[in-house]
Structure 1
Amino acid sequence: MNSQRGITITGFLVFAVLLISALLLGFKIGPAYMEYHTIQKMFRALASEPSLKNATRGEFNSAFNARAGVDNVKAITYDDVQIDKEGDGIVLSAEYSVRVPLFGNLSALMEFRPTSRP
């Protein structure tokens, strides 16, 4: 007599619960990481723009706000951005955190430090 092979119902349920939990976690924290990468890309684009090399804070503010509006960036504002001169260019950086409620009283806190440095 051959023994049966395959997954048991208990094994299937455990696997399904783990898979669904991982997917839900990814759906909750994924947008924060996507926005971080958008901010990093925006910083690099602004830092490499020749017209902003010697721009005033007002000109830089309007360029930042225009690009943030197009990219739908809501996590930071112009006041959160630190602008430093380095050599003949500029370096943009910021620090911010995002708290995402997972379920009940459990939240995920993510801290980001985007910069225009490569």
Structure 2
Amino acid sequence: MRQQSMKRSRARGISLLGLLFWAVLLACGGVVVAKVVPTVMEYYTIQNAINRIAKNNPGTVPAAKAEFERIKQIEYSIQSITGNDLVVSKENDKVRISFAYERQIELFGPVSLLIKYQGHSN
């Protein structure tokens, strides 16, 4: 009877190898998330900036690009694009601003992540 209860108690718990596997997997996932989140935040900052510019309905293309450059000086997180990267057009007497850019994020060694962002004003 005692041998039977000892066999059952040995099968319980998590192995050290299993614990290490999950720890490494979670650490790698955390590194990726920590490096991607700032680029996503930058995208939303750019999106909000062009929506504000389009809402003000600037009269000319250079005025829209200059307004973006002014916002870029205030919003320190915008680093991927400039006012010259914006495509400004008019649709039904409303200004439409669009943009597209890529961000390459170095993860470790030769491994990197390429994210393509694009957006337009509402």
TM > 0.5: yes
Question: Counterpart in 2 of 1:21?
Answer: 28
Question: How many percent of aligned residue pairs carry the same amino acid?
Answer: 31
Name the amino acid aligned to 1:95.
Answer: A
Aligned CA RMSD, in angstroms, stands at 1.5
- Distance in 1 (CA, whole Å) between partners of 2:13 and 2:41 is 39
| Residues 18 and 54 of structure 1: CA distance in aligned 2, closer, same or farther (over 3 Å) | closer
Q: What residue in structure 2 maps to residue 104 of structure 1?
A: 109
Give CA-to-partner distance per residue, 1:10-55, whole Å, 9 cap, x none: 1111110010000001112221111111111111111112xxx242
Match for 2:83: what amino acid?
Y
Query: Which secondary structure does the structure 1 equivalent of 2:105 belong to?
Result: strand
Normalised to the residue count of structure 1, the TM-score between the two structures is 0.87
**Runs of at least 5 residues in structure 2 that lack an aligned partner in the other structure:** none
Structure number with the higher helix fraction is 2
Q: Unaligned regions of 5+ residues in structure 1, if any? A: none
Bigger drift between 55-64 and 87-96 goes to 55-64
Q: Are 2:65 and 2:86, in contact at CA under 8 Å, matched by a contact in 1?
A: no
Q: Matched residue pairs, number?
A: 114
In our comparison, the structure showing a higher alpha carbon Rg is 2
Query: Equivalent residue for 1:71?
Result: 75
Q: Distance in 2 between matches of 1:57 and 1:84?
A: 8
**In 2, Cα distance between the equivalents of 1:68 and 1:54?**
17
Segments of 4+ moved more than 4 angstroms: none
1:56 aligns with 2:60: yes
